Structure 1
Amino acid sequence: MKVTIQKWNTVATWRWDIPEEDVCGICQVHFDGTCPTCKYPGDDCQLLSGKCGHNFHMHCIMEWIKQESSRGQCPMCRQPFEWTDQNNESAGQIE
């Protein structure tokens, strides 16, 4: 018996590779969605993971850090917010 595939429809889905947390600590929107300033999830609405273990939409944490009252601290644990680069494990501090 020989089977010939005539047509193949595929469906794909994606998820951010992050531990347990599934919502941004600032805007409370799921990471699979977008922050309030973006239209589409993905590369335009990236996530930043802090060394402290908390994750945020890039736009949300950037706006948070710009506020004088934040003093560059993580909004969840109040440690100085330093992000980790998932690709090469280097880190930086937002000032």
Structure 2
Amino acid sequence: MTGVSLMDGVSGLSYGAAGPQDLGADECGRLAVLIDERLHSAGAEGELETVVVTGARHQLVLRVLPGCGDPLLLAVALERERANLALVLRHLDLYPAQEAA
């Protein structure tokens, strides 16, 4: 992992970050909202769960964590040569967020 950030999924307000790579909390939040809006306009039902963006050297995983109020967005940046994307996605799915009652 080269960076991780936890942010408000709507406003992009960062609650915390670690690692040398700045993930741009505001940009990640806008990207997740844009993708979610486009999916709904295309007829998709339900809420956005995970977005994976891959590049030649890096990968970005955005995971929506629903809860009370605005959802949280977890952004994880990975070095493509050193990370196992499937394992990262599996570990993120081991701890599903609990929906608010």
TM superposition score normalised by structure 1: 0.27
Structure (1 or 2) with the greater helix fraction: 2
Q: Which one scores higher on RCO, CA 8 angstroms, separation ≥ 6?
A: 2
Structure (1 or 2) with the greater strand fraction: 2
Bigger Rg over Cα? 1
TM superposition score normalised by structure 2: 0.26
